[in-house]
Amino acid sequence: MKIVGRSVERTDAVAKVTGAGMFITDFSLPGMLFGKTLRSPHSHARIVNIDSTKALALPGVKAVLTHENTPRKRFNTSATMTFTVPNTKPVLDQRIFDDHVRYVGDEVAAVAAVSEEIAEQALKLIQVDYELLPAVYDPLLAMESAALPIHPCREGKNIPGNIVRILYNDIDKGFEKSDVIVEGTFKLPVQKQAQLETQAALANADANGNLTVWSTTQTPHPTKIILSAVFGIANSKIRVLNPPYVGGGFGVRIGCSAKAEPIAAALSLATRKPVKIVYSREEDFIASDTRHGGYVFVRLGAARDGTFQALELKGILNAGAYCSFSVETPGVLGAMGLAVYCIPHANYYGHSVYTNTTPAGAFRGFGNTQAMSAIESAVDMMAAKLGIDALELRLKNIIKVGDPWCLPYPCQSTGLAECIKEGAKRIGWEERGKRITNDPHKRRGIGMGVSTHVSNSWPFCVDYDNAIITMQQDGSMQLAVGVPEIGCGSATTLAQLAAEILGVSFKRISVVQGDTAATPFDIGSHASRTLYAAGTAVLAAAQQLKREILQYAAEEYHISVEKLDIIDGVIKDIKSEGVFVELNEFVWQAHLRNRQFIGIGQTVPGNAPPWQAHFAEIEVDLTTGKIDVLKIVAAHDVGKAVNPQIVEGQIEGGVLMGVGYATTEEIRYDTKGRQQSYNYHNYMLPTAADRPEIEAVIIETCDPSGPLGAKGVGETGTTPTPAAIMNAVYDALGIRFMELPLNQERVYRAIKRLEERV
């Protein structure tokens, strides 16, 4: 391959690096108003009365919206309402504004005004009378019958949607056959995506009844469908687009960007002016999806020789106040948790529970991070109990091609064994338990974790892709594809795929993304699917386009089409390499004969497992409890690395999120349900100084289902990282932590308890 596999420079590099790239905050329209949202100070309450009179009277205020004057239609800001598979019903538990607020930060009212300052001022003039209701913050407590129902729901225990059950043979028989059993319940924290750009939208409802929304969404097409449902406007009259740059996603805006789009749209429809809403960082924290915290119970049984016999897994996740992917996340937790090892008997039970906290939703790893933090800890516990090397134990039990597994698509490739071996070599696995430091107050340890993930969301939900490549009159090409570029580099890698097929420089291909008016439907950029899934449509479009061109050339040169190819921008005889014509010239001549070549690809992509083995080396300061993650080796089976540098970037970013999850990051609430960590001063993100050395190792297996062999890499950097760190900490201290993050306080106390016991 000529272009695929090369680390060509990202097409958005200069704009991003120089700060010239346009994001919503940079962007304004003539006559634009500024929207601000009034949020509930209470974690659970009914609104008895709202008086907007004073706010409306403030000069410069153009509209005040509350539950009394906005559409009452129930919806879901997450894209679940557009993704749903047939025969299931999405949970629609949100309104733009409701007379019932369910968490601190819940939307009560919004103002559009000529300046941000006036809008802020107006918020203070809205008088709201609340009737306070009892609140509950822990998912286990919220399931108890005494807890107030936060929403009416089928299970009657604050459980939204279906309970996920995966049964695989006979779990009881499995444990009967097990010589050794380990088990434990892991308590996992609420993590924040902390994407660079906060939630934002700029809506413009025009005089002809069209609604255009510039948005930070990861899924412009589904977001269009959501807005269509909320406002009763035809899909075709709504346009959702990125402006074009988006400052990251990590799952936080699959569907709407929290409520930025619906509120901006409602204000624009009310005022008939463009309205921009940009969440403050605090709003983004308190009123925008987080990762699901909660509890994962794991019970693992093995024969004396280490052969796994049974795995019981249970996930009870904290949904927060609304159901954003709170059915799907426990599903992925179970499916991915059961997919790594070949275990004859397995059982999963999982669901989420409403509480009066910020809604939890999609987040890089999507349940899998929670699953593997627990499972990979348990595998280490098992290795210790069996006296078998933890690496050997994994190699013995991991899924191989052809093994039965629980997922509804085949495992056609796995490089996990190679990842484990190569990663072990790079970290120096043989020194596990022997790494020493010169400082007597410090201890070092090595740990590992493995995982798999999806490359797409098919067949778990609606999932298809379209791409159109339009030949330009000078032989350059425009590729229109519905997935947006939210920072993953897909504008570059999708062009590489097309260029590879079309035999031209990838610089000749410009990509139009993230604009529902310019691209056909695509479910969007999430589920590690952007390159893998949209890539199949790009490939199909490129192949069709090439056929069209060569067919036309075959007629022109009176030669069989099979004998022609495009090589380095030239139409050649495939055998003799005889040159017929430069593609550019050929295309211009076709234009002069009234012909434009257009290729369309419409695909329902499959799914494929990427595999990853992470190795962590950490150092613990015994006097402070502080953990330094020194190095992460991340060995990944990525199928085919279309752009290795972009793959490494994805892995490195994912690893750092895993490091934060394992060591410092956590959203905590006070007793009244108020977040105690709502900005970068008090939410402990790893900084550049905390960044370990990260060695990304790329293993290529070329999955037959992926475009030119590629698999998904968007989330896999995160999934096995916490477990590798947890296991390294055990290696260093001999302490098995069952709760994350391993922050200084927790680690220090554990060390103290151990010392006291000793």
Binding site for a copy of itself (CB under 8 A): 11-15, 18, 20-22, 26-30, 82, 84-86, 206-210, 225, 228, 234-237, 272, 458, 462-464, 466, 468, 470, 472-474, 476-478, 480, 507-510, 512, 515, 517-518, 520-521, 589, 591-596, 598, 600, 602, 604
Identify the bridge partners of residue 187 per DSSP, sorted by sequence position. Answer: 295, 739
Q: Taking phi first (over 0 means left), then psi (-120 to 50 degrees means alpha), and beta for anything else, what does residue 325 get?
A: left
Token pair for 39: 């949020």
Cβ-based nearer residue to a copy of itself, 146 or 207: 207
Q: Is the peptide bond before 459 cis (omega within 30 degrees of 0)?
A: yes
* CA 336 vs CA 101, 339, 450, 451, 719: distances in Å: 34, 5, 11, 8, 10
Please state the closest distance from residue 554 (CB atom) to a copy of itself, in A: 19
Nearest to 706 by CA among 524, 555, 493: 493
Q: Assess contact for 693 and 202: CB atoms under 8 A.
A: no
Nearer to a copy of itself (CB atom), residue 597 or residue 669: 597
Q: How far is the CB of 93 from a copy of itself (least distance, A)?
A: 21
Ramachandran class of 521: left when φ > 0, alpha when ψ lies in -120 to 50, beta otherwise: beta
∠ Cα 18 19 24 (to 5°)? 155
Least gap, CB of 468 to a copy of itself (angstroms):
7
Please give the C-alpha separations between residue 228 and each of 213, 510, 738, in angstroms, as whole numbers: 12, 30, 45
| Alpha-carbon separation of residue 83 from 222, 226, 289, 458, 635 (angstroms) | 8, 11, 18, 10, 32
Output the smallest distance, CB 280 to a copy of itself, in A.
Answer: 20
Please report how close the Cβ of residue 202 comes to a copy of itself at its closest, in angstroms.
12
Q: How far is the CB of 84 from a copy of itself (least distance, A)?
A: 7
Phi/psi for 50 (5° steps) reads: -125, 130
Which residue, 456, 462, 465, is CA-closest to 601?
Answer: 465
For strand 570-573 and strand 564-567, is the pairing parallel, antiparallel, or unpaired? antiparallel
Q: Residue 209 or 734: which CB sits closer to a copy of itself?
A: 209
Q: Which is nearer to a copy of itself, 406 or 517 (CB)?
A: 517
Q: How far is the CB of 619 from a copy of itself (least distance, A)?
A: 41
Closer by beta carbon to a copy of itself, 207 or else 758: 207
3-state SS assignment for residue 691: coil
Output the six-digit token pair for 396.
Answer: 């013995």
Which CB sits closer to a copy of itself, 259 or 273? 273
- Cα separation, 629 vs 727, in Å, equals 12
> Cβ closer to a copy of itself: 66 or 466?
466
Of 438, 449, 325, 457, which is closest to residue 380 (Cα–Cα)?
Answer: 449
The residue among 312 and 328 lying less far from a copy of itself, judged by its C-beta, is 328
Q: At what angle do helices 368-386 and 721-733 cross, to 10 degrees?
A: 30
Phi, psi of 350 (to 5 degrees): -160, 150
Shortest distance (Å) from residue 748 CB to a copy of itself: 47
Query: What's the min distance (Å) between Cβ of 76 and a copy of itself?
Result: 16
Q: Contact, 640 vs 719, CB < 8 A? A: no
Burial category of 385 from C-beta neighbours within 10 Å (exposed 0-12, middle 13-18, buried 19 and up): middle
CB of 339 to a copy of itself, least distance (A): 23
Q: Which is nearer to a copy of itself, 468 or 538 (CB)?
A: 468
Closest CA to 625 of 755, 449, 722: 755
| Distance (Å) of CA 415 to CA 435, 447, 509, 611, 706 | 28, 20, 32, 7, 15
**Nearest approach, Cβ of 473 to a copy of itself (angstroms)?**
5
Q: Distances in Å between the alpha carbon of 250 and those of 216, 324, 397, 525, 602? A: 12, 14, 31, 9, 26
Comparing CB distances to a copy of itself, the nearer of 35 and 514 is 514
Sheet with 564-567, strands from edge to edge, namely: 564-567, 570-573, 579-582
Cα-Cα-Cα-Cα dihedral of 697, 701, 707, 710, to 10°? -20
Q: How far is the CB of 397 from a copy of itself (least distance, A)?
A: 35
Q: Which is nearer to a copy of itself, 159 or 512 (CB)?
A: 512
In the complex, least distance from residue 91 CB atom to a copy of itself, rounded to whole angstroms: 17
Write down the least CB distance from residue 10 to a copy of itself, Å: 9
Tokens of 106: 């819940």
Nearest to 257 by CA among 292, 226, 214, 288: 288
Looking up tokens 């709760």 gives 739
**Residue whose token pair is 């291909």:** 509
Closest approach of Cβ 487 to a copy of itself, in Å?
Answer: 14
**CA 192, CA 237: separation in Å to the nearest integer?**
34
The one-letter amino acid code at 49 reads: N
Q: In sequence order, what E strands does 472-553 have?
A: 477-481, 509-513
For 669, the token pair is 């609430």
* Calpha distance 740→98 (Å, rounded): 35
Which tokens go with 418?
A: 């190679």
Q: Which is nearer to a copy of itself, 483 or 725 (CB)?
A: 483
Please report how close the Cβ of residue 80 comes to a copy of itself at its closest, in angstroms.
Answer: 13
Judged by beta carbon, residue 130 or residue 557, the one nearer a copy of itself is: 557
Pick the closer one to a copy of itself by CB: 106 or 515.
Answer: 515
Rounded least distance, CB 597 to a copy of itself, Å: 9
d(C-alpha 377, C-alpha 299), whole Å: 11
Q: Which is nearer to a copy of itself, 113 or 479 (CB)?
A: 479
In the bound complex, what is the minimum distance in angstroms from residue 162's beta carbon to a copy of itself?
A: 17
**Between 422 and 463, whose beta carbon lies closer to a copy of itself?**
463
